[in-house]
């Protein structure tokens, strides 16, 4: 596997590069040598962030971890990637090496991840009255959800307001076709 390292406000160092390379190369069991990995290490506000992205035959696997040091971060990122690989393996066997899943043990996971829900088990319907973004924020907080869909009174567009991982809010504006 080809591994590209990117440093942002952080010096990776040869020892850490060697450890990351050794651990990431274990994933060759699934992909082979033609996969590409990109490891971004950065220091933001005294927090160490590691982003691991792997591309293989048109599929993308990504993990982003923040913690107290990069050595722990790589150990947290790899199980996330392996979980994504195993979930995709059911659907896309042709994208992995033939014998990749013959062994019963996983590289970084203790057990096989639970399957994703495949059916819609509940449907809700409601009418969208035009409201402001400020009102949508209040409604989202009132119902204690991570997102809220609304018709923006100012733009007459469908919008989704959502809570981001960093605690801030995001807004998705959807144009009517």
Task: Give me the pLDDT at residue 167, please.
Answer: 86
Residues 138 and 59 in one domain: no
pLDDT digits (tens, 9 = 90+) for 43-72: 988 899 999 999 987 788 899 999 999 999
84 and 6 part of one domain: yes
Tell me 135's DSSP state.
H
- How far is 147 from 162, CA to CA, in rounded Å? 4
The last residue of one of the domains, among 76, 95, 114, is 95
Residues 6 and 76 reside in one and the same domain: yes
Q: Is beta strand 59-67 parallel, antiparallel or unpaired with respect to 47-56? A: antiparallel
What is the rounded CA–CA span in Å between residue 60 and residue 17? 22
CATH number reported for the structural domain that contains residue 161 in this entry: 3.30.505.50
The range of the structural domain enclosing residue 168 comes to 130-174
Q: What angle do CA 113, 116, 121 make, to 5 degrees?
A: 145
The answer to whether residue 113 scores a pLDDT higher than 70 is no
CB under 8 Å to 24, separation ≥6 — which residues?
Answer: 1, 3, 37, 39, 52, 54, 78
Mean pLDDT of the chain: 84
Of the candidates 32, 72, 77, which has an alpha carbon nearest to the alpha carbon of residue 53?
77
Mean pLDDT along residues 34-42: 92
Task: Mark whether 71 and 140 lie in a shared domain.
Answer: no
User: Do 88 and 148 have their domain in common?
Assistant: no
pLDDT at 33: 76
């Amino acid at each position: 596997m080809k591994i590209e390292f990117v440093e942002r406000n952080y010096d990776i160092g040869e020892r850490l590069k060697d450890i990351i390379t050794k651990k990431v190369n274990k994933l060759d069991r699934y992909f082979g040598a033609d996969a590409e990995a990109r490891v971004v290490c950065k220091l933001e506000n005294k927090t160490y962030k590691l982003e691991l992205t792997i591309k293989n035959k048109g599929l993308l696997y990504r993990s982003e971890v923040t913690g107290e040091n990069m050595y722990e971060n790589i150990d947290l990122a790899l199980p996330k990637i392996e979980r994504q690989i195993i979930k995709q393996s059911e659907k896309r066997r042709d994208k992995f090496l033939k014998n990749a899943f013959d062994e019963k043990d996983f590289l970084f996971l203790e057990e096989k991840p639970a399957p994703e829900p495949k059916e819609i088990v509940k449907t809700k319907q409601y009418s969208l009255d035009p409201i402001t973004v400020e009102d949508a924020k209040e409604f989202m907080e009132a119902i204690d959800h991570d997102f809220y869909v609304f018709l923006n009174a100012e733009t007459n567009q469908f919008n989704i307001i959502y809570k981001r991982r960093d605690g801030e809010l995001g807004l998705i504006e959807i144009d009517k076709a």
